[in-house]
Amino acid sequence: MLLLIGLIIGLVLGLTGAGGSVFAVPLLMLMGGLSMGDAVGISLGAVAASTLYGSIRNWRGKKILWVPGMILAATGALTAPFGKWLGMQTPELWLLTGFNLLAMIIAVRMWISAARTPERARVVRAGNFSAEPSLGLLCNLSKTGQFELRPRCVSGLVLGGILVGLLSGLFGVGGGFLIVPLLLALSPISMAQAVSTSLIIIAAVSGSGFISHVAMNPHSDWAVLGLVVTGGVLGMMLGQAISHKIANARLQKLFAICLIAISVTTLALHY
């Protein structure tokens, strides 16, 4: 069952452009019987491994915006442990309520995005971005071609990274639902560049959150993690094989409906 849960997590993560990792925690709770705290920790490990694997094909390409990506990843990785600590101090029912409200917001955003810009729904994390055009780099370049770290640009990236890190550590989500819109808002880049860059950032932030989870929970169940992570990587591999055939706006809307249904079910079972 845990391997199947991981497979679903990796597949959904790969077949969405942003927001797919939010499926992980409720699936681990509903199907895996884990507590909220354990589900958050396992989710962080599974998401980190799946996104790291998913980013390998883009590692040497020109789609990853390395400088802004590293700023977001570094600030997010630094704040994710604090988010994890904060989650441990919060009553589980409050944490669960906050997570599911966030999940519903993400689901609504996925539906609206699929309805307004259906062409973007075809750009997913498991996709191959090698043939996608690069429209430009985030922020501006100087006349010598060096990246200009202007205050407004850097402050936007740092604040975004802090928020992503806190939410990742607190709720066990990857943060793509914030990272992708932030990258698109700060510069006229392509959706492929934003999604490709988000993979590296999510891997770093989720990895940091997972390490903090292990440090704060020395008796973590590594067998459970191993099964979920294995399933997650297999799911991402499957997503890479089929994303070009099925990724579309209709699929994104279906994911949004499923996410709301899972969130409502999780809340109903715990109240």
**Residue 39 near residue 33 (C-beta atoms within 8 A):** no
Across the chain, what does the average pLDDT equal?
81
Average pLDDT of 161-184? 86
| pLDDT value, residue 74 | 94
pLDDT in tens, 86-122: 988 989 889 999 988 988 888 888 888 778 877 766 6
pLDDT in tens, 206-244: 999 999 988 888 777 788 888 998 988 888 888 777 776
| pLDDT value, residue 66 | 80
| pLDDT value, residue 136 | 54
pLDDT in tens, 133-172: 455 555 665 555 445 667 777 888 899 899 999 998 888 8
pLDDT in tens, 4-48: 988 888 888 877 766 677 888 888 888 888 888 888 889 898 888
| pLDDT value, residue 145 | 44
Tell me the pTM. Answer: 0.83
Domain-wise residue ranges, the chain: 2-270
**Interacting residues of 184 by C-beta distance below 8 A, sequence separation 6+:** 191, 194
Tell whether the model's pLDDT for residue 79 goes beyond 90. Answer: yes
| pLDDT value, residue 149 | 67
